[in-house]
């Protein structure tokens, strides 16, 4: 199933089952969505529930919060996370805090969906991965969908959830055809063990999952049997699954596409330090994006983020340096 | 209209169009990537505004190649930027959407819709403080006119009587969203007329754009505060190379193609006996030469070095201190 079709199916089923579910955003209606996620929904549910908005991100999220307060279940689509910066006040000062500030009286059943990451040469204002801007905020649930199965189940869960969910997608995944599994007892907060292994735990999420899988094939040739874990949920973080794996492998690497300083890996490493420091044979290795805005030139763009080759090289070097 | 003006307008519009057609060709060939927003059909706006507003500062969005060329940016370094080369105006780091040249008072090339407007207003504040008369030119689309930053900008510019020209390039669409679906007004002047003097001009007619900007900028130069101009125009291509533009009808397209800014200028100039066909053929040949030269320059230029990835983040004093 196409990744984007999995998302579409989740929205479609929720809109079909519950009249209070609406979707709003730029080009989501007649155009069918920039990445075709909302394709066909307007003809099925009409323009009152599939809402084409002006270019006004702050209002898209703000309006969604208001709709949620009034009893709807809005899905706000922000074209990319880069533009969500314009909506951050509504997301952080409002969506994340209303329930707490009101002593638990307010309920905000809202999803903000958006893709991020490096696509292909879209340059600095269109290529960011801002997950830690949201995963550092109390009051938000932050999920990432790296695959069709999680995209479908995770988004369905998010739409039904009574709390605000930031649902992160990746621009390069939309057209990818992926294996799809129906899951009965789906838990959005569980990390997925993508591949079991004995020697090394590699944590990752979103599009880097595929780069890690590529890298692991190469590592195998060096006799390294890596366990790959997809975090899925960034807040809350499934530290239990992570700690269990580290207990077994004694070594941990995190591969992320966002900037290294203050990136997702920083928080993951901090939690590992607290939970399983004594299980580690070596310092955790962070393989992340460089601390620069993403450049347009393809060679520089690729140099700014992890790639399978770089992942392999860095792991081999790290192993040699630490004698592990 | 006189001969010298016809020559300038025609040359720059033709240069813009051929530049865009070449860019499209090289996008298909894979020499250019990312988002490529073509200005084909809208050349009269870019050229008319820049010819009239020839001093002062310019702030624009991502659909900006022709504006940059009309401002005087060398086609070679613009094409090289599209090719992502070291010799590009932004050293290959910005690409099509991010052309900057402070020497030309040309400040981008912003790809966050309406994000450049508050910046332009700030620049106008500074120009007023510095006693500069020419002021600031800020161009944006119909889509941008719905953003909060737009409304904040016209309010502040008006409240503080800042020397700034807001130029709304209304091509009716923001990607696939028609202005009438998301705004109570299709005529964008309606949004500004309680704040400042407003003007409209035909965005398919370079002379009309030129004359209107010339007239409006007097208000700015006389220190009387901001002005707002709207030009209706049309892009012949999709929003970017990633958009087929299927949401628009053939008929709608035809209406505007009949008013093609380049063809119409040519026709008018010949009718007025200012020049003949041969004259335009000579200009066309010149354009062809300049564009081919630009492509050759771009294609033969070197890529940036990997080390450049970490350069240009800070000024000299901090560059070596901050990792
Ligand atoms: C804040 C923000 N939201 C969304 C986008 C995505 N986007 C890029 S261009 C565009 C449409 C802009 O339309 P308009 O202002 O009319 O300019 P035009 O492209 O027609 O020249 C959109 C929605 C963006 N770049 N920035
Ligand atoms: Mg437009």
Instruction: Give the DSSP letter string of A268-308.
Output: HHHHHHHHHGGG-SSPPEEEEE-SSPPPSSHHHHHHTS--H
Question: Is pLDDT at B312 greater than 80 in this prediction?
Answer: yes
Catalytic status, residue A256: no
Q: Best mutation site among B41, B114, B138, B174 for ligand 1, i.e. most ligand atoms within 8 A of its Cβ?
A: B174
Minimum distance, in Å, between the CA of residue A86 and any CA atom of chain B = 9
With CB atoms and an 8 Å threshold, state whether B111 touches A126: yes
- The pLDDT, as a whole number, for residue B316 is 82
Number of A–B residue contacts, CB under 8 Å? 110
Question: Smallest Cα–Cα separation from B228: which of B273, B186, B194?
Answer: B194
In whole angstroms, what is the distance from residue A264 CA to residue A234 CA? Answer: 8
Confidence at B319, pLDDT banded by 50, 70, 90: confident
Reading phi first (left if > 0) and then psi (alpha if -120 to 50, else beta), residue A121 is in: left
CA separation for the pair A120, A142 (Å, rounded): 25
* Over residues A131-140, mean pLDDT: 98
- Report the alpha-carbon distance of residue B168 to residue B177 in Å, rounded: 17
Judging contacts by C-beta atoms under 8 Å, the chain B residues touching residue A295 are 92-93, 304, 309
| Cβ burial, residue A186 (10 Å; 0-12/13-18/19+) | middle
User: What are B31-55's pLDDT values in tens digits?
Assistant: 999 999 999 999 999 999 999 999 9
The rounded distance, in Å, linking the Cα atoms of B53 and B212 is 10
Ligand 1 contact via B182 beta carbon (within 6 Å):
no
Q: Please spell the DSSP secondary structure of A33-82, one letter per residue.
A: -TTSTTTTHHHHH-TTTEEE--S-HHHHHHHHHHHHHTT-EEEEEPS-HH
In chain B, residues with a C-beta closer than 8 Å to the C-beta of A59 are: 148
Please tell me whether residue B47 adopts helix, strand or coil conformation.
helix
Is A301 annotated as catalytic?
no
CA dihedral A47, A48, A50, A56 (to 10 degrees): 100
How do the domains of chain A map onto residue ranges?
A: 3-170, 192-322
pTM of this structure? 0.97
CB A35 within 8 Å of CB A3: no
Note the pLDDT of residue B321.
Answer: 75
Residues A87, A100 contacting (CB under 8 angstroms):
no
Q: Which of A57, A171, A256, A301 is catalytic?
A: A57
> How many angstroms separate the CA of residue B11 from the nearest CA in chain A?
30
Ligand nearest to the CA of B238: 1
| Per-residue pLDDT reduced to its tens digit, B71-108 | 999 999 999 999 999 999 999 999 999 999 999 999 99
- CA B159 – CA B153 distance, rounded (Å): 10
Nearest neighbour of B310 by CB, restricted to A120, A125, A292: A292
Q: Which residues of A touch B323 (CB under 8 A)?
A: 291
Instruction: Say yes or no to pLDDT of B242 above 80.
Output: yes
pLDDT at B179 over 80: yes
pLDDT band at B323 (very low <50, low <70, confident <90, very high): low
Mean pLDDT of A293-306: 98
pLDDT in tens, A26-75: 999 999 999 999 999 999 999 999 999 999 999 999 999 999 999 999 99
How confident is the model over B49-81, as pLDDT tens digits?
999 999 999 999 999 999 999 999 999 999 999
List the Cα angle B68/B124/B128 in 5-degree steps. 130
CATH of domain A192-322: 3.40.50.920
Kindly list the structural domains of chain B, giving each domain's residue range(s) and its CATH number in brackets, ordered by start: 3-319 (3.40.50.970)
- Which residues, including other chains, have CB under 8 Å from residue A196's CB and lie 6 or more apart? A227
The DSSP letter of residue B187 is S
DSSP A71-107: T-EEEEEPS-HHHHGGGHIIIIIIITTHHHHTTT---
Cβ of A123 and B111 within 8 Å?
Answer: yes
Intrachain domains A3-170 and A192-322 with the same fold: yes
Q: How large is the ipTM? A: 0.96
CATH number, domain A3-170: 3.40.50.970
The angle formed by the CA atoms of residues B277, B283 and B284, to the nearest 5 degrees, is 85
* Angstroms from B114 CA to nearest CA on chain A: 9
**Ligand 1 in reach of B142 Cβ (< 6 A):** yes
Q: What pLDDT score does B320 carry?
A: 76
- Ligand 1 proximity of B272 Cβ (cutoff 6 Å): no
Q: Which of A31, A53, A297 minimises the CB distance to B176?
A: A31
Ligand 1 centroid, distance to B49 Cα (angstroms): 21
Q: Which residues pair with B178 in a beta bridge?
A: B173
Q: How far is the CA of B111 from the centre of ligand 1 (A)?
A: 8
Inform me whether the C-beta atom of residue B309 falls under 8 Å from chain A C-beta atoms: yes
Q: Is the distance from CB of A178 to CB of A150 less than 8 angstroms?
A: no
> How far apart, in whole angstroms, are the C-alpha atoms of residue A184 and residue A87?
35
- Determine if residue B196 is left, alpha or beta; phi over 0 gives left, psi from -120 to 50 gives alpha, anything else beta: beta
Share of chain B above pLDDT 70, in %: 100
Smallest CA-to-CA distance from A252 within A221, A287, A223, A303 is with: A287
Beta bridge partners of B174: B177
Q: Which atom of ligand 1 has the smallest separation from the CA of B239?
A: 19
Half-sphere exposure in the Cβ direction for A87 (13 Å, CA): 30
Alpha carbon nearest to ligand 1 atom 12, residue: B174
Section B291-297 average pLDDT: 98
Contact (CB<8Å) B175/A30: no
A interface with B, Cβ–Cβ < 8 A, is: 26-27, 30-31, 34, 52-56, 58-59, 82-83, 86, 120-126, 290-293, 295-300, 303-304
Q: How far apart are CA B84 and CA A300, in angstroms?
A: 10
- Residue B210's pLDDT band (cuts 50, 70, 90): very high
Sheet holding B164-170, edge to edge: B100-101, B106-110, B57-61, B136-141, B164-170, B227-232, B198-202
User: Over chain A, what is the mean pLDDT?
Assistant: 98
- Please list every residue in chain A whose beta carbon sits closer than 8 Å to the beta carbon of residue B313: 292-293
In 3D space, the residue among A201, A195, A205 whose CA is nearest the CA of residue A154 turns out to be: A205
């Amino acid at each position: 199933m196409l990744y984007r079709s999995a998302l579409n199916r989740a929205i479609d089923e929720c809109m079909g089952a519950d009249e209070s579910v609406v979707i709003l955003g730029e080009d989501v209606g007649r155009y069918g969505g920039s990445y075709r996620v909302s394709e066909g929904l307007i003809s099925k549910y009409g323009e009152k529930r599939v809402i084409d908005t002006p270019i006004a991100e702050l209002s898209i999220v703000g309006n969604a919060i208001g709709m949620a307060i009034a009893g709807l279940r809005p899905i706000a689509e922000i074209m990319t996370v880069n533009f969500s910066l314009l909506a951050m006040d509504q997301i952080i000062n409002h969506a994340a805090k209303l329930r707490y500030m009101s002593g638990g009286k307010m309920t905000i059943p809202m999803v903000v969906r958006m893709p991020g990451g490096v696509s292909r040469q879209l340059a600095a204002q269109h290529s960011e991965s801002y997950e830690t801007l949201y995963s550092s905020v109390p009051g938000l649930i932050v999920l990432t969908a790296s695959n069709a199965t999680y995209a479908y189940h995770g988004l369905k869960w998010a739409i039904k959830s009574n709390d605000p969910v930031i649902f992160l997608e990746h621009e390069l995944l939309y057209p990818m055809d992926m294996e799809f599994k129906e899951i009965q007892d789906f838990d959005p907060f569980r990390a997925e063990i993508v591949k079991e292994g004995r020697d090394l735990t590699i944590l990752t999420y979103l599009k880097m999952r595929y780069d890690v899988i590529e890298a692991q094939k190469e590592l195998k040739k060096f006799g390294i049997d890596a366990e790959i874990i997809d975090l899925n949920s960034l807040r809350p973080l499934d530290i239990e699954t992570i700690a269990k794996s580290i207990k077994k492998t004694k070594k941990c690497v995190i591969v992320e596409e966002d900037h290294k300083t203050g990136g997702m890996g920083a928080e993951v490493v901090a939690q590992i330090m607290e939970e399983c420091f004594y299980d580690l044979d070596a310092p955790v290795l962070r393989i992340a994006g460089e601390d620069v805005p993403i450049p347009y030139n393809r060679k520089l763009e690729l140099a700014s983020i992890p790639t399978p080759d770089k992942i392999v090289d860095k792991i081999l070097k790290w192993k040699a340096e630490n004698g592990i | 209209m006189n001969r010298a003006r016809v020559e300038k307008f025609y040359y720059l519009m033709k240069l813009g169009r051929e530049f865009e057609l070449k860019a499209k060709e090289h996008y298909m060939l894979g020499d250019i990537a990312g988002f490529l927003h073509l200005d084909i059909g809208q050349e009269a706006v870019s050229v008319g505004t820049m010819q009239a507003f020839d001093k002062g500062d310019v702030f624009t969005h991502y659909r900006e190649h022709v504006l940059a060329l009309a401002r005087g940016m060398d086609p070679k370094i613009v094409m090289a930027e599209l090719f992502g080369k070291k010799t590009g105006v932004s050293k290959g780091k910005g690409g099509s959407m991010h052309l900057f040249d402070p020497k030309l008072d040309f400040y981008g090339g912003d790809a966050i819709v309406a994000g450049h407007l508050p910046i332009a207003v700030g620049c106008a504040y500074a120009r007023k403080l510095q006693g500069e008369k020419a002021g600031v030119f800020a161009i944006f689309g119909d889509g941008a006119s719905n953003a909060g930053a737009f409304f904040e900008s016209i309010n502040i510019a008006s409240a503080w009587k800042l020397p700034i020209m807001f130029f709304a390039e209304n091509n009716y669409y923001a990607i696939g969203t028609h202005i009438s679906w998301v705004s109570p007004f299709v005529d964008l002047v309606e949004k500004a007329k309680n704040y400042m003097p407003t003007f409209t001009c035909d965005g398919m007619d370079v002379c009309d754009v030129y004359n209107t900007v010339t007239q409006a900028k007097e208000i700015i130069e006389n220190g009387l505060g901001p002005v707002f101009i709207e030009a209706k125009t049309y892009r012949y291509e999709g929003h970017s190379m990633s958009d087929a533009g299927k949401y628009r009808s053939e008929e709608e397209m035809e209406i505007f193609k009949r008013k093609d800014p380049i063809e119409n200028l040519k026709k008018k100039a010949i009718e007025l006996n200012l020049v003949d066909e041969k004259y335009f053929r000579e200009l066309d040949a010149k354009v062809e030469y300049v564009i081919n030269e630009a492509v050759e320059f771009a294609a033969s230029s070197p890529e940036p070095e990997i080390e450049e990835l970490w350069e240009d983040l800070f000024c000299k004093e901090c560059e070596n201190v901050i990792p």
